[in-house]
Amino acid sequence: MLSFLSELKVPITNGLLLGGLYGIIGIGMSMIFGIVRLVNLAHGDLIILASYLSLVTMTLFPVSPLLTLIVVIPAMCVIGFIVQYYLLNRVLGKGMNPPLLVAFGLSIIVQNLLLLIFTPDARTLLTSISVKTLPIGSFLNIPVVYLVDFIGSIVTIALLSRFFNRTYLGKAIRAASDDEGAAQLMGINTKSIYAIAMGLAMGTAAIAGVLVGMTFTFYPHTGPEYLIMAFGVVIVGGLGSLLGTFLGGLILGLAQILGAHFLGPGFQLLSGYLILLIVLTFKPTGLFAKG
């Protein structure tokens, strides 16, 4: 029994660490879903856009990928704000389908733009830590980049949590997501608030994009993979809960790595998909949903 467990220690550790990355992939979608009641079908592609932005920055300035965040985060925030304010705000409230379809259109546009500019070649954000491992005691070797992903995710989520609970703007955003009409009566310009929220969500996408680029290879069509993953994280973890999304990430990460371990590498994504389908069928509000 013990040897069975110790055989699993690598997949379990890797699964949890990777789960942190999945958590931050899902946070942006969770925010938008919770605040604006919109499922951003372009979320995955926007994360990959951030990866490419980081790549460009790295070719212009010889810095490590993490430093490119200085440029990529503001760039993505601005993009998010503009997309929400000028595009998505205009179809909010027109029913369930228009926002979905506009986001879908946006997803295709981003993918094909990236394809045109960058060609279909696989890319990666190379850094010295990409191949290093960190020994823990004598029984475990953690890939450093997974650890960085995990820490990056926790830090981001903690900062976001602080933002929503302690700052004036954060509270205004929560108010607007609770009751848009009442928020308007408080002097809150909800259209502008939604755009700010989307800008923030894209900020997290920026971080996710850089981390993803450091951990995996990417090319213009990887977006949808991360979309389904983000959706999985959000659904499994439950709506409206930052912590829940993080936990959802951990669960999916574990499921994927364990799935790959037992069934083979081709089935890594499959395990995640199956869990998503199961949760969607039986408890669509998620396992840790708030109220």
Which C-beta is closer to another protein: that of 81 or that of 231?
Answer: 231
Give the shortest CB-228-to-another protein separation in angstroms.
Answer: 6
Whole-angstrom CA distances from 264 to 77, 125, 255, 268 are: 38, 26, 13, 7
270 touches another protein (CB under 8 A)? yes
Which C-beta is closer to another protein: that of 83 or that of 210?
Answer: 83
Give the shortest CB-160-to-another protein separation in angstroms.
Answer: 16
197 touches another protein (CB under 8 A)? no
The tokens of 164 are what?
A: 């929503």
274 touches another protein (CB under 8 A)? yes
Question: Which parts of 75-114 interact with another protein (CB under 8 A)?
Answer: 87, 90-91, 94, 96-98, 100-102, 104-106, 108-109, 112-113
161 touches another protein (CB under 8 A)? no
Which C-beta is closer to another protein: that of 74 or that of 98?
Answer: 98
185 touches another protein (CB under 8 A)? yes
Q: What is the DSSP string of the chain?
A: -HHHHHHHHHHHHHHHHHHHHHHHHHHHHHHHHHHT----TTHHHHHHHHHHHHHHHHHHS---HHHHHHHHHHHHHHHHHHIIIIIGGGTTTS-SHHHHHHHHHHHHHHHHHHHHHH-S--B----GGGS-EEEETTTEEEEHHHHHHHHHHHHHHHHHHHHHHHSHHHHHHHHHHH-HHHHHHTT--HHHHHHHHHHHHHHHHHHHHHHHHHHS-B-GGGHHHHHHHHHHHHHHH-TT-HHHHHHHHHHHHHHHHHHHHHH-GGGHHHHHHHHHHHHHHH-TT-TT---
Q: Which stretch binds another protein (CB under 8 A): 1-9, 128-136, 178-186, 244-252?
A: 178-186
Q: Which stretch binds another protein (CB under 8 A): 73-81, 194-202, 250-258, 274-282?
A: 274-282
Query: From the list 131, 136, 151, 182, which residue makes contact with another protein (rule: CB under 8 A)?
Result: 182
Which C-beta is closer to another protein: that of 134 or that of 186?
Answer: 186
184 touches another protein (CB under 8 A)? yes
Whole-angstrom CA distances from 154 to 87, 231, 287 are: 31, 19, 20
Binding characters for another protein, 226-245, by CB under 8 A (x = yes): --x--x---x----------
35 touches another protein (CB under 8 A)? no
280 touches another protein (CB under 8 A)? yes
Q: Give the footprint of another protein on this chain (CB under 8 A).
A: 39, 87, 90-91, 94, 96-98, 100-102, 104-106, 108-109, 112-113, 115-116, 168, 171-172, 174-175, 178-179, 181-190, 224, 228, 231, 235, 264, 266-267, 269-270, 273-274, 276-277, 280-281, 284, 290
